[in-house]
Structure 1
Amino acid sequence: MADTAPVQLALGDSAARQLANATKTAPILATISPRWLTHLLQWVPVEAGIYRLNKVRNPQDVQVLCAKRDESELPTTFVDYETQPREYFLNAVSTVLDVHTRVSDLYSSPHDQIKEQLRLTIETIKEKQESELINNPDYGLLASVHPDQVVYPLTGAPTPDDFDELLSKVWKEPAFFLTHPLAIAAFGRECTRRGVPPPTVSLFGSQFLTWRGIPLVPSDKVPVADGKTKVLLLRVGDKRQGVVGLYQPGLPGEQSPGLSVRFMGISRNAIASYLISLYCSLAVQTEDALAVLEDVEVGKYHAYPDTYR
C-alpha cells in the first residue's frame, strides 16, 4: 500500500518566517566591561604629550621650628627640587579599520556598517587602554608600586586584616581598592565567615562591596595566575597628590578625550580606511598614593566553612 503524505492544514512556521521581519540587534561584543578605573581616575590634559612630575628633593630637610620670643633664633631653610624629574610620555593604542565600500553601501540597514565597525573597534581600544593602565611595564599601576608599599596576605585568601594593612599604606584619603572580581568574591566569603559581611555602596548606578567605607572596584584586567591575583589601593587626583590619568587634548578627529578617528581615504580596491588612536598614560605623583596586596589566593571555594583549594 503506497505511503500517503500528511495533509497540511495551515501555513507552516518555516514558510511564514520568510515574510516576517526579524528584529536585528547591534553586534554584541562580549569583551566589553564597565571599565571602572577610567571612570574613577582624574584625567589631566598633557600638552605636547609630555608630563613632567616635579618633586621636592629630601622633604625631611625642610626645617621649621616653634619660635621663641627672641626672633634672632628663627631658623632659615629652603625647599629643594629634584634636578632630573621623571617625564611621562603618552602611549598610543592604535589600529586601522578597513571597511569595503560595497559592504557599507549595500548592507547598512537597519544598522550602519561603518558606525558599528567604529563602535566595536573603539570599545576594544578602550578595553586595551584599561589593561595598559594596570599592566603596562613602564607606567602601569602594578609596575609603579614602590617596594615599601607592597603587602603580603597573612593566610593566602584576602582578609579584612590584609585590607587594613593596605589602608595603613595609603591612609591619606584612599579612594578605592582595585582587583579582579574573583578576589572580591574571595574577600566577601572571608568577611562572611568572620561574621563581618561588608556593606555596599552605589556608584554610577551599580553596587560595590566596601571595606571601611572604601569601595572594592572590579576589573578583569588585573591578572590572575596559578589561582593568585593582586589587590591595589589608590589615592587619586591632582590636588591629593595621587594617581592621575594623562591624555592628549585637542586631537584632530577627537571623539572623546584622548581618542581620535581619522578617515584615511579609499584605496583602488574600494577599501575605506579609518585610523583610530587613543593616547594615554598614568602617573603616581607620590609613593604613598598606591599600594598592592600580592599573592592573593582566589582558588576554588567549597561550600564548607574554612575550606579553600
Structure 2
Amino acid sequence: MSAQHDAQLALGDNAARQLANATKTVPQLSIISPRWLTHLLQWQPVEAGIYRLNKVRNPRDVRVACSQRDESELPSTFVDYEEQPREYFLNAVTTVLDVHTRVSDLYSSPHDQIKEQLRLTIETIKERQESELINNPDYGLLANVADEQRLSTLTGAPTPDDLDDLLTRVWKEPGFFLTHPLAIAAFGRECTRRGVPPPTVSLFGSQFLTWRGIPLIPSDKVPVEDGKTRILLLRTGDKRQGVVGLFQPGLAGEQSPGLSVRFMGINRNAIASYLISLYCSLAVLSDDALAVLEDVEIGKYHDYPDTYK
C-alpha cells in the first residue's frame, strides 16, 4: 500500500479544524497609545463648563520692605487683578455610534458586540483628546507657550544643553518633558555620543529616560514636520500655578471623568445609536509653567518615512 493511501486513512488537519472552537480575541486597535499626558495632568472639575483664570496685574508693583525702626516709613501697597481674565470653555470630542440590532442580537458570543464597539470608539475619542490637549489652536499646549518661553536648539539635534536651557525657563518644580518618541531616541543618541547616557525612572510600571531627574514622556501626538519636532517642559497642578486639565463632572451617562455614553434609541431601520461625548480643556495658570524647544531634528526623512505621512 502506498504512503499516499496510508495518509488518507487518517483524519486530516483541515477537516479536523471544522470541529474545533477557535479562541477569538477582542478587536485590536493599533492606534491605542499609553496617553501618559492625561495620566500626569491634574484634572480640575469645571462648573457650568467655564473656567476663569484670574491673574495678578503688574505683580512686580506689589511693594514690601524689611521692618524699619521708624514705622512711619512702612510702605503701603495693594494687589491689583486683571479686569478681563481669560475664560476657558470646555470643548467636546464627540461622535454617534450606530449598531444594527441584528448584529448585537446574533453575533455577541463570545464577545459582546455593543461593548466592543463602545470600547473601541471610546479609545479613539481618548486618543483624539490627547491630541487636542497638545495641538488645539485655542487651548492646546503648543498654542499657549509664552513668547519668552520659546527656545530653539543649539545644534539641531536635541542635546543636554538644550534641555538645561528649558529647565532655566521652568525651574520652579518642573514636572516632565513631553515630546515625540523619535525625539527621545535622538536625545539618547546625543547623550551617548557625549558619554553621559541618561538614567531611567519607573513610572506606571514603565521605564522612562530622564534628564536632571525629570522624565522624558513620549507622545506620538506631538507633531513631526520635515524631520523636526518640539520638546515641551511642564509644571503641573493648581497649587504650583502649573498646567491643569479641565473636565465637566456629573454628566448624564458618565463613564469616567468628563466622558459620557448615552443611548439615543432605535430607529425604524433597527439601528441602535449611542452618543459618546468627552468634554475637556486645558489651562496654563502661569507663563513660567510651560516652555518649548523648537526645531528639534530627529533624523533624516528617509530614516523614518512612515512618520511623515
Q: Secondary structure at the residue paired with 1:143?
A: helix
- How do 1:227-242 and structure 2 match up within 5 A? 227-242=227-242
Amino acid at match of 1:109: S
Give the structure 1 partner of residue 95 of structure 2: 95
Root mean square deviation, CA, Å: 1.5
Q: d(CA) in 2 for partners of 1:163 and 1:55? A: 28
The count of residues paired between Structure 1 and Structure 2 equals: 300
Give the structure 1 partner of residue 60 of structure 2: 60
Which whole-Å deviations, capped at 9, do the CAs of 1:148-188 have from their partners, x for residues lacking one? Answer: 00111010000000000000000000000000000000000
Q: Secondary structure at the residue paired with 1:102?
A: helix
Q: Secondary structure at the residue paired with 2:156?
A: coil
Q: d(CA) in 2 for partners of 1:178 and 1:232? A: 5
Which whole-Å deviations, capped at 9, do the CAs of 1:233-265 have from their partners, x for residues lacking one? Answer: 000000000000000000000000000000000
Cα distance, 1:302 vs structure 2? 11
Quote the sequence identity (%): 85
- How do 1:139-288 and structure 2 match up within 5 A? 139-288=139-288
Asked whether the 8 Å contact 2:96–2:275 carries over to 1, the reply is yes
Asked whether the 8 Å contact 2:227–2:301 carries over to 1, the reply is no
Q: Secondary structure at the residue paired with 1:105?
A: helix
Q: d(CA) in 2 for partners of 1:46 and 1:204? A: 27
Amino acid at match of 1:36: W
Cα distance, 1:12 vs structure 2? 0.7
Q: d(CA) in 2 for partners of 1:296 and 1:217? A: 16
Which whole-Å deviations, capped at 9, do the CAs of 1:10-55 have from their partners, x for residues lacking one? Answer: 1111000000000000000000000000000000000000000000
Give the structure 2 partner of residue 306 of structure 1: none
Cα distance, 1:299 vs structure 2? 1.2
Where structure 1 has 5 or more consecutive residues not aligned to the other structure, the ranges are 304-309
TM-score by length of 1: 0.95
Q: d(CA) in 2 for partners of 1:301 and 1:203? A: 32
Amino acid at match of 1:143: A
Cα distance, 1:109 vs structure 2? 0.2
Where structure 2 has 5 or more consecutive residues not aligned to the other structure, the ranges are 304-309
Asked whether the 8 Å contact 2:236–2:244 carries over to 1, the reply is yes
Deviating beyond 6 angstroms after TM superposition, the runs of 4 or more aligned structure 1 residues are none
